[in-house]
Structure 1
């Protein structure tokens, strides 16, 4: 993850162009965790509070910022609106509608679980078929991990179901659409299901939670078994190439789901 920059470290021209869009900046508060970007800050301006994120316009994460800027106009109101972009002095900064909130709890008995299921149901319904925006096909992203026909589809997916990307405020929001893809409508639910297992849900209860989301009913047993196996392979590969403390619990959760699928199917 790049070193997080403070507002005052932006080039003067970048700050000037932002202020042309927002009015004077009165205060800026760096966000120390979350998105893998050079700058993440809440900024108080004449026109209200804005969330700014971004980094080097030609840096290794620039494609993520451009993904998010491209897809945002097509998203339903589960996502904060992109208000403006500034590209100057080698920087690319995105300015979003500011939403306040906490991250949802995913542990068994959490009152947030219903809202998460409702959001995923709404999102898959409104984004099927995918709007006409260019994104990667999920089957291409998972090439070599699973038969493409099992995960192909026409739904615009978020694909990064970490609880850090959900904010519970006046309602539930889903942020950071930097890794969108087009694929089967049930994929985001499957990715969240594994997060529930990590949060101590038994796999059978996590699947029961997923069953309340209509798109889940369109996933075949064959597809779910192959997806669980592919997810284990993917996260094991990530752990080998870029070890991180969060990978171990995710691998364990994916393995528990895969083993449940194998046991259930007698395979």
Structure 2
């Protein structure tokens, strides 16, 4: 993850260009966790609060900022709107609608689970067929992990179902669309299911939760087993290459789900 920069560390010319969009900046509060970017900050300006994120255009994450800027105009209302982009002095900064909220609780019995299911239901409906925006095919991203035909589809997917990307505010919001893909409509639900297993749901109960999302019925048993197996391989690879505190728990959750799927497959 890039070293998180504070607002005052940005080049002066870049800050001036941002203030041409926002009016004077009165205060800026760095966001220490979450988005993998050089800058993530809540900025108080003459025109109100803005959430700013971005980084150096030659950095490893620069393509993620461009992804998010490109896809935002096509997203449903649940995604905070992108108000402006500023590129100067070797930096690209995105200015978003500011949303105050908390992250949802995914534990068994949480009242937030219904809102998450409702959001995924609405999102898959509104983003199928995918809007005409250039994004990677999910089958290409997972090349070597799963047979392409099992995950192909024409839905615009988010693909990063960490609870940190959801905000419970006036309604549930889904943020950080930096890794969009085009694929089968059930994929985001499957990715969220593994987060539920990590949060303490037995796999069978997590699948029962997923069943309330209509697109889940479109996933075959073959596709779900292959997807679970692909997730295990993916998290094993990440654990070896860039060990992180969340990799182990997600790998264990994926293994639990694959085990459940294997049991169903053998019946």
Q: TM-score, normalised by structure 2?
A: 0.99
Q: How far did 1:36 drift?
A: 0.8
Counterparts of 1:23-34 in structure 2, within 5 Å, are 23-34=23-34
In the alignment, which residue of structure 2 is the partner of 1:129? Answer: 129
Q: How far did 1:266 drift?
A: 1.0
Structure 2: runs of 5+ lacking an equivalent: none
Q: How far did 1:175 drift?
A: 0.2
In the alignment, which residue of structure 2 is the partner of 1:87? Answer: 87
Q: How far did 1:243 drift?
A: 1.0
In the alignment, which residue of structure 2 is the partner of 1:14? Answer: 14
In the alignment, which residue of structure 2 is the partner of 1:236? Answer: 236
**Deviation string, structure 1 residues 147-198 (Cα, Å, up to 9, x no partner):** 1000000000000000000000111000000000000000000000000000
Counterparts of 1:39-118 in structure 2, within 5 Å, are 39-118=39-118
Question: What secondary structure, in the 3-state scheme, does the structure 1 residue paired with 2:201 have?
Answer: coil
Instruction: Report the number of matched residues.
Output: 267
Structure 1: runs of 5+ lacking an equivalent: none
Q: How far did 1:40 drift?
A: 0.4
In the alignment, which residue of structure 2 is the partner of 1:218? Answer: 218
* Distance (Å, rounded) in 1 between the aligned partners of 2:33 and 2:93: 17
* Distance (Å, rounded) in 1 between the aligned partners of 2:163 and 2:110: 13
In the alignment, which residue of structure 2 is the partner of 1:263? Answer: 263
In the alignment, which residue of structure 1 is the partner of 2:36? Answer: 36
* Distance (Å, rounded) in 1 between the aligned partners of 2:253 and 2:188: 16
Q: How far did 1:244 drift?
A: 1.1
Question: What secondary structure, in the 3-state scheme, does the structure 1 residue paired with 2:26 have?
Answer: strand
Question: What secondary structure, in the 3-state scheme, does the structure 2 residue paired with 1:131 have?
Answer: coil
Q: TM-score, normalised by structure 1?
A: 0.99
In the alignment, which residue of structure 1 is the partner of 2:157? Answer: 157
Counterparts of 1:163-202 in structure 2, within 5 Å, are 163-202=163-202
**Deviation string, structure 1 residues 20-66 (Cα, Å, up to 9, x no partner):** 00111111100011101110000011111000000001211000000
Q: How far did 1:220 drift?
A: 0.5
- What is the RMSD computed on CA atoms of the aligned residues? 0.6
Question: What secondary structure, in the 3-state scheme, does the structure 1 residue paired with 2:51 have?
Answer: strand
* Distance (Å, rounded) in 2 between the aligned partners of 1:191 and 1:258: 13
